[in-house]
Each structure stands twice: as structure tokens, then as C-alpha cells.
């Protein structure tokens, strides 16, 4: 029962009607780690978080958080976790201070402890003067920061952040990233973060799990995952006889894989700098017109595409799934 | 099961990365979450709910206007008729309990609960180690505070127009508490709807329940004057016995049997409304089960 891991799930599943939102997920998050749980809308991320946070009963499998079973010991789990849910869950009629104080009281903290925690948190998360104003007057970014503060009042061991930057402007997003990094690196807090932004997982997470339609399709460090694709990618947009172009490129030295989707040819190569010229020559010698030729590092989006056959932002297959 | 072993297991790993000693000390300054205790939980939830009342006066002011309006209008239109009909009948004393019942029936924080559910704040509260029943009981405590607060100006109005209590100051207290208890048990209905549906419009429909309870009874004329189906319905309407009990405190003195019937009527409604409410509450907090 005393699991040394911060989060462990085994065969965790949950359905809504006939839709299996989480279809048997195994994962383990080490203490002190930032784990990024990446997937498109409706992939099952929020359902997973709600089960780990004791808000939702799993239909199968087991999970422990901070060493406690989420089904048999939910109260112990709650004492050790902080949670910021997808939409900042706040009460607009209270002021920020009132909300944080209430939060502190419900976690059994004394008045002086609450004072100390609010001082600590406000030095960490920039809420500024707004704390004494009604939450209804806050901007979206402010609400997210207050929500994060509310998740931290009781000094939790494991912090769950469900899409912490969805809907935020780029500046606010960078601020949240800094805060998350600080919580993890300087305060040793374990962070379980869900996101649909590849760069967010890439930027923050030590390890990433990729979920698609309720199934964990890959797991590893962002670098590991990207390495699956090859070191570099050459992307060519072409018009004309693409089959011939495909054959021409496949025969080029240094090319490890070529994939064609529509007019977009994705060419995995070991060394982009030395291979882009031969590839350009090969394309030039075939019956296609090259509209665009770019060299880039693989992203998690490429990993996702490779694993699932869909782009992260592709909405053709995800729309019909219930957003969980 | 002790909580120390697993807690220790997830204590921050010693310096996961080079970090200033000061900030690590900040993290380990010993402030840990613990259960606050049931009473403390109820007080916390009630405190927040009470604070929210003056911030939405629009939800309280009608509750004060309606009873005062009916009290004044009923006295103006019916006092002469009823008092002529029955010698020694004090229509103002007869109407004051009706005004109180109008003031306290249907007042609840159920709309706040629905908003909390919709905003996800109910989830945030559920994520704390709070004892689950405190989430609801705290709101009800706030409701009780509010209905008592609403009763006071109505009683004062009664005094102003010349109503006097046979049972004295203690009777006034009993009057307010019994009315408050009625207001409290009635909150079970809107809470049940709020918890079951999570829909603000549905919660507003609970006001419809107010009409049969408040009008199909002896609200305007004594029971003897009711005839036909209304007399039958009034016999089964618990509010009839509540009004009898409240009226007895004003005009008759300490009538134990009448008072007990009133208390029993309130308790009976409470049994139904709180059962519904509890079932809906269980359903809500186990929404994932």
C-alpha cells in the first residue's frame, strides 16, 4: 500500500454511457517529477484527472495518489493533493482573500498558518492588489492564478493542473509556466499536468504520456518521443506526381522514412543539414512542383501524428467524442 | 492506518534539483493539511454563505416585501369583514403568522448551490477534506440565520400595528424559532432540486410549491369558515397546524397540544424534504459512482 510513487494507475478505466473515456491506463509518476499528460480535446485527460483526484469513481483498475488508494482512502488523498481544474473553479462573489482563507480553514489550518501560507503564495504567484477585490472583477489570467493559489494553500505534495493555460494569452501562459517550474524545481512539488498544447508539455514536463481516445499511446521524455520520429524532419509541400516523388526521395541517402499525407511529404532524416540538398535535388528531378520546403526539429505533434494518424489539432475524429 | 508512512513516502525528494535552501525551508515549514472537524467545516461553509447574503440583496428584498404587502393588504381588505363575522376576533393577530410564513417559506441558498455546481466551485470544495454533509448543512445554517433575520422585522411590524403576545417575550422567541424551523425544512425542496438537476431554472420552479402550502390553508379565514374541498385540503396541509400553533402563541397562551401539532407538522414536512434532499446529495457527491 505504501507506494513510493506520487501517482500510480493500473488499468484505470471509466465510461460515460457507451463512450469509454479512459480505457485502461497504466502510468506512474515519480515524486518530484512534472508529468505531462498530453492529448487532444475529448481524449480522456480530464476524466483521468478527476479519477485521480477522487471526484470520479473509476469503473475499473486501481490508482494511488501520494501512496493512498483513490477509492478506498479518498480522504487521505485529498489531504495530500492540490488541484486546479480545467475551468478556474471559483466563487465570483467572494474576494480572493476570502476564498483563500475559506480554503485554508477547510484544510484545517489555523488563522496564523493561513496568514503565512497566503504570504508565501502571493510571493510566488503574482496576484497583487486584486486579492481584496471581488473575484467577479478578475481577468481570465487572474482567475487562473487565484485558482492555482487556492490549490496551494495547504502545501500539497502532488499538484494536479488540468489544462492550466487553455484560453490564456501568451504572456499569461508564460507566467503560469514559470510558476509551475518554480513549484517543482524549488519547492519539490510533484506536478501532474494535462495539456493539449505540445509546446507546453515539451517546455515543462520531464516525462510525457500521450493519451488518445482513452488509451495511453506513448510515454517517455519529450526527447525520447521525438527521437522516435528521427532527428530532423524535412517537410515538403508538393504538387504533381507525388508517387514518383516519394520513390525518388526514399532512394536518397540519409532518409530514414517518408510519409505522404495529401500534398504534404514528411521526410525523416538523420541529419537535416546535410540531407536537405540531396532531397531537394531528388524532388527537382521528379515530376512534382515543390511549393514549400522546410527543415525542422520533430515536435510532439509529429509524435502524435505518427502514433495515432491524426494531428493534435485535427478535429475530424475528436468532435464526436464526448468532451470529458 | 497511519498517515505518516505514506506521507513520508511522498515528502519532497531531497533537493530534486539545485535550489536555494531558503525556498526548500519554505516548502517544509510544517504546515500540513488536516481535517478541520465537522463543526468547523459547517461554520466555514455557513460563514461564506452568510457573507454572500448582503452581496445579493435582490434575493432577499422580495422575501421581505411580499409578506409585508400581504399583511397590510389583507388587514385593509378583510379585517372588518372577519371581525364583524365573529365577535372578539383579532384579524391582525390572525394574519401575523401568515406574514411570517410568507416571509420564511422558499428562502434558501439553493441558487448559490446551483451556481457553485455550475462554476465548478462545488468540485473545489469537494476536493478539500471537508466532511461531505457540511457542504449542505453549512448552507442550511445560513438559511436559518436568514429566515430568523427576516422574521424579526415582520414581528416588529406586528407590534407596530398593535399585535400583542399572550405568551410574552418567550412566546415571541418560540414564534420566531418555529417559523424559522418551518423555513428551514422547506429549504429541503429547493436543495433537492438544485442537487438533482444542477439547473438554476429548475430551482426557481420550487417556488411553485409555496402556493399550495401557503394558500390552501387557513391563511385568510379561520378553518370553520372554510368549506368544501378547501376545508378538506386545509385539514391535510401541514401549514394549517403550523399557523394554528403560531396563532396560539399570540392569542391563546401556551397551548401544548396545539404547539406539538405544529411542531409535528414541521417535522413531518422536514422528514420528506430532507429525505429528498439527502438522496439528491448522495447522488451528487457520488456522481461518479
A167 pLDDT higher than 70: yes
Name which of A53, A75, A106 is nearest B41 (Cβ-Cβ): A106
Q: Going edge to edge, which strands form the sheet with A207-212?
A: A81-84, A158-162, A190-195, A34-38, A207-212, A215-220
Cβ separation of B5 and A154 shorter than 8 Å?
no
DSSP state letter for A229? T
Q: What percent of chain A has pLDDT over 70?
A: 94
Q: What percent of chain A has pLDDT over 90?
A: 47
Q: Residue B162: is it exposed, middle or buried by C-beta count within 10 angstroms (0-12/13-18/19+)?
A: exposed
Express each pLDDT in B263-288 by its tens digit.
999 999 999 999 999 999 998 887 55
Residues of chain B neighbouring A50 (CB-CB closer than 8 A): 288
* Per-residue confidence (pLDDT) for residue A3, from 0 to 100: 60
Question: How far is the C-alpha of A107 from the C-alpha of B37, rounded, in Å?
Answer: 10
Minimum Cα–Cα distance from B39: chain A residue: A106
A10 pLDDT higher than 60: yes
Residues of chain A neighbouring B6 (CB-CB closer than 8 A): 1-3, 66-68, 76
Nearest CA of chain A to the CA of B270: how many Å? 28
Question: How far is the C-alpha of B33 from the C-alpha of A153, rounded, in Å?
Answer: 9
Nearest CA of chain B to the CA of A168: how many Å? 18
Cβ contacts below 8 Å, chain A against chain B, sum to 163
Provide DSSP, B172-208.
Answer: HHHHHHHHHHHHHHHHHHHHHHHHHH--HHHHHHGGG
Q: Give the number of other Cβ atoms within 10 Å of residue A62's Cβ.
A: 14
Provide DSSP, B210-254.
Answer: HHHHHHSSSSSS-GGG--HHHHHHHHH-HHHHHHHHHHHHHHT--
Name which of B10, B116, B128 is nearest A78 (Cβ-Cβ): B128
C-alpha cell at B157: 411590524
CA angle B283/B286/B289 to nearest 5° reads: 115
**What is the torsional sign of CA B255, B261, B263, B265?**
negative
Mutate one of A48, A81, A186 to test the B interface: name it (highest B CB count within 10 A).
A186
* Per-residue confidence (pLDDT) for residue B59, from 0 to 100: 78
Strands A215-220 and A207-212: antiparallel
Intra-chain end-to-end CA distance of chain B, in Å: 24
Mutate one of A108, A113, A122 to test the B interface: name it (highest B CB count within 10 A).
A108
Mean pLDDT estimate for chain A: 87
Name which of B3, B16, B51 is nearest A188 (Cβ-Cβ): B16
C-alpha cell at A233: 524532419
Question: How far is the C-alpha of A5 from the C-alpha of A306, rounded, in Å?
Answer: 30
Express each pLDDT in A243-264 by its tens digit.
888 888 888 888 888 888 888 8
Question: How far is the C-alpha of A274 from the C-alpha of A254, rounded, in Å?
Answer: 8
| Of A223, A70, A62, A89, the residue nearest A146 (C-alpha) | A89
Residues of chain B neighbouring A85 (CB-CB closer than 8 A): 120, 123-124
- How does residue A271 score in pLDDT terms, banded at 50, 70 and 90? confident
* Per-residue confidence (pLDDT) for residue A323, from 0 to 100: 40
Residues 6+ apart with CB under 8 A from B136: B113, B191, B195, B277, B281
8 A C-beta contact, residue A81 and residue A156: yes
Name which of B5, B6, B31 is nearest A155 (Cβ-Cβ): B31
* Per-residue confidence (pLDDT) for residue B287, from 0 to 100: 57
Helices (DSSP H) in B86-120: which residue ranges?
Answer: 91-104, 110-119
Nearest CA of chain B to the CA of A194: how many Å? 17
Residues of chain A neighbouring B35 (CB-CB closer than 8 A): 75, 79, 108
Residues 6+ apart with CB under 8 A from A206: A33, A34, A35, A221
Nearest CA of chain B to the CA of A9: how many Å? 16
* Per-residue confidence (pLDDT) for residue B26, from 0 to 100: 45
pTM of the model as a whole: 0.81
Architecture of domain A7-225: 3-Layer(aba) Sandwich (3.40)
Minimum Cα–Cα distance from B119: chain A residue: A89
A9 pLDDT higher than 60: yes
Q: Which CATH class is domain A230-297?
A: alpha beta
8 A C-beta contact, residue A94 and residue A134: yes
A210 pLDDT higher than 80: yes
8 A C-beta contact, residue A146 and residue A103: no
Question: How far is the C-alpha of B263 from the C-alpha of B267, rounded, in Å?
Answer: 6
**What is the torsional sign of CA A127, A131, A135, A138?**
negative
Where do the structural domains in chain A lie, given as residue ranges?
Answer: 7-225, 230-297
Nearest CA of chain B to the CA of A35: how many Å? 14
Express each pLDDT in A25-84 by its tens digit.
999 999 999 999 998 888 899 999 999 999 999 999 999 999 999 999 999 999 999 999
Name which of B20, B37, B127 is nearest A186 (Cβ-Cβ): B20
C-alpha cell at B129: 477534506
A195 pLDDT higher than 80: yes
DSSP state letter for A323? P
Nearest CA of chain B to the CA of A74: how many Å? 9
Residues of chain B with pLDDT under 50: 1-28, 289
Name which of A76, A89, A187 is nearest B3 (Cβ-Cβ): A76
Residues of chain A neighbouring B16 (CB-CB closer than 8 A): 32, 184-185, 188
* Per-residue confidence (pLDDT) for residue A255, from 0 to 100: 87
Question: How far is the C-alpha of A95 from the C-alpha of A103, rounded, in Å?
Answer: 12
What phi and psi values does residue B33 have, to the nearest 5 degrees? Answer: -70, 145
Cβ separation of B5 and A66 shorter than 8 Å?
no
| Of B78, B248, B288, the residue nearest B166 (C-alpha) | B248
Question: How far is the C-alpha of B204 from the C-alpha of B215, rounded, in Å?
Answer: 19
Amino acid at each position: 500500500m505504501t507506494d513510493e510513487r506520487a501517482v500510480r494507475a493500473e488499468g484505470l478505466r471509466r465510461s460515460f454511457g457507451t463512450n469509454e473515456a479512459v480505457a485502461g491506463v497504466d502510468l506512474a509518476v515519480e515524486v518530484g517529477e512534472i508529468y505531462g499528460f498530453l492529448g487532444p480535446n475529448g481524449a480522456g485527460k480530464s476524466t483521468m484527472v478527476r479519477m485521480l483526484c477522487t471526484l470520479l469513481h473509476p469503473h475499473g483498475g486501481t490508482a494511488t495518489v501520494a501512496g493512498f488508494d483513490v477509492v478506498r482512502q479518498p480522504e487521505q488523498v485529498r489531504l495530500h493533493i492540490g488541484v486546479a481544474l480545467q475551468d478556474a473553479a471559483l466563487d465570483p462573489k467572494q474576494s480572493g482573500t476570502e476564498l483563500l482563507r475559506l480554503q485554508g480553514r477547510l484544510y484545517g489550518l489555523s488563522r496564523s498558518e493561513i496568514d503565512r501560507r497566503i504570504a508565501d503564495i502571493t510571493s510566488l504567484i503574482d496576484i497583487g492588489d486584486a486579492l481584496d477585490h471581488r473575484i467577479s472583477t478578475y481577468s481570465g489570467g487572474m482567475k487562473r492564478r487565484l485558482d492555482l493559489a487556492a490549490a496551494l494553500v495547504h502545501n500539497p505534495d502532488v499538484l494536479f493542473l488540468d489544462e492550466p493555460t487553455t484560453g490564456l494569452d501568451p504572456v499569461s501562459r508564460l507566467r503560469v509556466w514559470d510558476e509551475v517550474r518554480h513549484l517543482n524545481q524549488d519547492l519539490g512539488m510533484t506536478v501532474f499536468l494535462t495539456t493539449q498544447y505540445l509546446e507546453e508539455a515539451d517546455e515543462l514536463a520531464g516525462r510525457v504520456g500521450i493519451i488518445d481516445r482513452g488509451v495511453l499511446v506513448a510515454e517517455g521524455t519529450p526527447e525520447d518521443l521525438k527521437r522516435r520520429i528521427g532527428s530532423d524532419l524535412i517537410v515538403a509541400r508538393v504538387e504533381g506526381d507525388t508517387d514518383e516523388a516519394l520513390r525518388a526521395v526514399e532512394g536518397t541517402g540519409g532518409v530514414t522514412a517518408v510519409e505522404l499525407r495529401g500534398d504534404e511529404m514528411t521526410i525523416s532524416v538523420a541529419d537535416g543539414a546535410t540531407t536537405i540538398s540531396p532531397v531537394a535535388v531528388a524532388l527537382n528531378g521528379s515530376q512534382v512542383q515543390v511549393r514549400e520546403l522546410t527543415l525542422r526539429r520533430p515536435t510532439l505533434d509529429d509524435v502524435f501524428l505518427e502514433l495515432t494518424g491524426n494531428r493534435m489539432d485535427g478535429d475530424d475524429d475528436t468532435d464526436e467524442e464526448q468532451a470529458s | 492506518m497511519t498517515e505518516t508512512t505514506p506521507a513520508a513516502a511522498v515528502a519532497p525528494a531531497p533537493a530534486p534539483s539545485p535550489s536555494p535552501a531558503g525556498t526548500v525551508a519554505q516548502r517544509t515549514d510544517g504546515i500540513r493539511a488536516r481535517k478541520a472537524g465537522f463543526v468547523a467545516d459547517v461554520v466555514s461553509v455557513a460563514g461564506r454563505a452568510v457573507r454572500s447574503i448582503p452581496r445579493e440583496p435582490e434575493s432577499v428584498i422580495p422575501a421581505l416585501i411580499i409578506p409585508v404587502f400581504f399583511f397590510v393588504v389583507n388587514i385593509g381588505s378583510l379585517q372588518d369583514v372577519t371581525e364583524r363575522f365573529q365577535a372578539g376576533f383579532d384579524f391582525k393577530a390572525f394574519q401575523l403568522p401568515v406574514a411570517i410564513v410568507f416571509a420564511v417559506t422558499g428562502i434558501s441558498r439553493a441558487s448559490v448551490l446551483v451556481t457553485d455546481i455550475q462554476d465548478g466551485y462545488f468540485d473545489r470544495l469537494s476536493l478539500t477534506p471537508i466532511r461531505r454533509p457540511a457542504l449542505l448543512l453549512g448552507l442550511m445554517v445560513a438559511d436559518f440565520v436568514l429566515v430568523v433575520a427576516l422574521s424579526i422585522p415582520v414581528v416588529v411590524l406586528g407590534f407596530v400595528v398593535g399585535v400583542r403576545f399572550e405568551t410574552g417575550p418567550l412566546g415571541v422567541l418560540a414564534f420566531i424559532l418555529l417559523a424559522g424551523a418551518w423555513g428551514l425544512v422547506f429549504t429541503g425542496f429547493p436543495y433537492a432540486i438544485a442537487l438533482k438537476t444542477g439547473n438554476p431554472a429548475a430551482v426557481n420552479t420550487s417556488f411553485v410549491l409555496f402556493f399550495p402550502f401557503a394558500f390552501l390553508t387557513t391563511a385568510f379565514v379561520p378553518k370553520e369558515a372554510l368549506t368544501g374541498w378547501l376545508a378538506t385540503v386545509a385539514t391535510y396541509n401541514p401549514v394549517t397546524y403550523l399557523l394554528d400553533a403560531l396563532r396560539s402563541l399570540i392569542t391563546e397562551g401556551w397551548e401544548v397540544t396545539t404547539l406539538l401539532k405544529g411542531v409535528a407538522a414541521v417535522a413531518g414536512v422536514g422528514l420528506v424534504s430532507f429525505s429528498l434532499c439527502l438522496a439528491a446529495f448522495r447522488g451528487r457527491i457520488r456522481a461518479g459512482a
